[in-house]
């Protein structure tokens, strides 16, 4: 009787281990998906800011009758934000947690 209980406990333990291993296998994909979900609004906002900046520069250049202003605008540093350029191998895919690199450790 004790032997049957031990075998049953062993089988239960093996099933739990298999379920935990399956969960561990899913974790990288889960983290990657969550990272992309959080990153997308930031990328959208970055693109909008870059478009807005270019728009404002163009409007200033067009509205200024003063050539000096246009020259000064061209001498101003470009925006600090640069569009994220994913690896060409990803064919336009969003950056990933791995490709974006750590921000701190």
- Rounded Cα distance between 97 and 57, Å, is 33
Q: Which residue has the tokens 């099933």?
A: 15
In this predicted model, what pLDDT tens digit does every residue of 4-36 receive, in sequence order? 999 999 999 999 999 999 999 999 999 999 999
How many contiguous H segments (helices) and E segments (strands) does the chain have? Answer: 3, 0
Q: Rounded to two decimals, what is the model's pTM?
A: 0.50
Measured CA angle at 84 (ends 78, 90), to 5 deg = 150
Do 86 and 99 meet the contact criterion of CB atoms below 8 Å apart?
Answer: yes
Q: What is the pLDDT of residue 104?
A: 46
Do 61 and 70 meet the contact criterion of CB atoms below 8 Å apart?
Answer: yes
Identify the residue with better confidence: 11 or 60: 11
């Amino acid at each position: 009787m004790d032997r049957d209980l031990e075998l049953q406990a062993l089988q239960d333990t093996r099933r739990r281990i298999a379920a935990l291993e399956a969960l561990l296998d899913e974790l990288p994909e889960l983290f990657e998906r969550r990272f992309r979900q959080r990153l997308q609004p930031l990328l959208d906002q970055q693109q909008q800011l870059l478009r807005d900046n270019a728009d404002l520069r163009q409007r200033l250049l067009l509205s200024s009758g003063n050539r000096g202003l246009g020259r000064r605008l061209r001498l101003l540093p470009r925006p600090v934000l640069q569009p994220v350029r994913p690896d060409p191998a990803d064919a336009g895919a969003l950056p990933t947690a791995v490709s974006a690199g750590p921000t701190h450790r």
